[in-house]
Amino acid sequence: MTATLPASVPGATRRADRREASLLRRLLTQPSSALALVSVCLLVAVALGAPLITWLTGTSPTAFHSEAVDPALGGLPRGAAGGITSAHWLGVEPGSGRDILARVAYGARVSLLISVLATAISVALGTALGLAAGFFGGWTDAVIGRVMDLLMSFPSLIFMIALISAAPGVNRQLLLVVVLGFFGWPYVGRLVRGQATVLARGEFVAAARVLGASRRALLVREVLPGLTGPVLVVATMSIPNYVATEAGLSFLGIGVQPPTPSWGQMIAAAVPWYAADPMYFLIPGAFLFITVLAFNVLGDAIRDALDPRSRR
């Protein structure tokens, strides 16, 4: 989703490729960002390979395993540490006996899918509107600026909840993507606007204008490429935000609906059991924490790599 140069400019594409290669090398040379990158790749692998995992372990995220829980103990998993056995690698849910690994893996799919799509929406909207505000200035800037201020002063969590709970029949995951993306774009827009204002005053833009470049060409060829770096950083930083918000909404019971598993929903389901079976909330919680942390570290590292000034 990050804005790259149009493919019709061969020289520029090669330049962008080179820059991406050097960015990757920088990320891999630092232990913290390399670890974060590996974690993110592993998470994506778990999410994509969820069906493979359940095939290997012979379970499914929705299958009940009554033999794995002990009715005499109120439905607590049989065995130590939340029922970790060779059949259930991360244990089972108390009560229903559903396999936690299968649910966590399928939960990763939901979580990553929603946050990546929401990021795509907020980055697309934020870049387009921020670019327009910064480049054209004047009335365009005033109107877009006010809308951004307004959206940022909304109590967005409560508002999202109100919006979602007022639309019962709608596909919940789609609604989450749209709502998260919609409330997220002003943060991208504000950054892009600032950057675009600076770039639009640049000498290279003036030169292109003198050479007779159309407005469209100025926007797309001169200003937009300069935004790649900041937009990449803000996109990486918004993914963990959306992962956390989606999980929070699901924790409150208005995010992803059962039977589709989600990490926040699993933690909410674990609340009544937290004293007797702490593994039940620790496992989805740990996945959530590691995901958010890995993306945060990665976002920091990309920012430092692209902007040496911020590396202190």
Partner 1 sequence: MILYALRRLAVAVVILLVICGATFAIFYLMPADPAQGACGKACSPERIAQIRTTLGLNHPVLIQFRDYLAGIVAGRSYGTGAQAVTCPIPCLGFSFQTNEPVWGLLTERLPVSVSIAVGAAALWLAVGVTAGVVSALRRGSVWDRAAMVAALGGVSLPVYFTALVLQYLLVVKAGVLPYPQAVALTDDPVGWAESMLMPWITLAMLYAGIYARITRGEMLESLGQNFVRTARAKGLPERTVLRRHALRPALMPIVTIFGMDLGALLGGALITESAFGLPGVGKLAADAINSADQPVILGVTLFAAGFVVLANVAVDLVYAALDPRVRAVG
Could you list the residues that contact partner 1 (CB under 8 A)?
Answer: 149-150, 153-155, 157-159, 161-163, 165-169, 240, 244, 247-248, 251-254, 264, 267-268, 270-271, 274-275, 278, 281-282, 285, 288-289, 292-293, 296-297, 300, 310, 312
CB of 240 to partner 1, least distance (A): 7
Nearer to partner 1, 129 or 270 (CB): 270
CB of 250 to partner 1, least distance (A): 10
CB of 248 to partner 1, least distance (A): 5
CB of 284 to partner 1, least distance (A): 8
Inter-residue contact 240 to 300 (CB < 8 Å)? no
Distance between CA atoms of 190 and 195, rounded to whole angstroms? Answer: 9
Q: Length of the chain, please?
A: 312
In the three-class reduction of DSSP (H, G, I as helix; E, B as strand; rest coil), residue 119 is classed as helix
Measured in whole angstroms, the distance separating CA 167 from the mean position of its chain's CA atoms is 23
Nearer to partner 1, 135 or 251 (CB): 251
Residue whose structure tokens are 């594409």: 13
Nearer to partner 1, 121 or 161 (CB): 161
Nearer to partner 1, 101 or 237 (CB): 237
CB of 15 to partner 1, least distance (A): 30
Distance between CA atoms of 49 and 53, rounded to whole angstroms? Answer: 6
Helix axes 172-200, 156-165, angle to 10 degrees: 140
| Triad 283, 286, 289: Cα angle to 5° | 150
The tokens describing 88, both together, are 């259930």
Which positions ≥6 away from 289 have C-beta within 8 Å? Answer: none
Q: Other CB atoms closer than 10 Å to residue 58's CB: what's the count?
A: 10
Nearer to partner 1, 79 or 278 (CB): 278
Nearer to partner 1, 106 or 273 (CB): 273
CB of 289 to partner 1, least distance (A): 6
First to last CA, the chain: 29
Residue whose structure tokens are 């979580």: 111
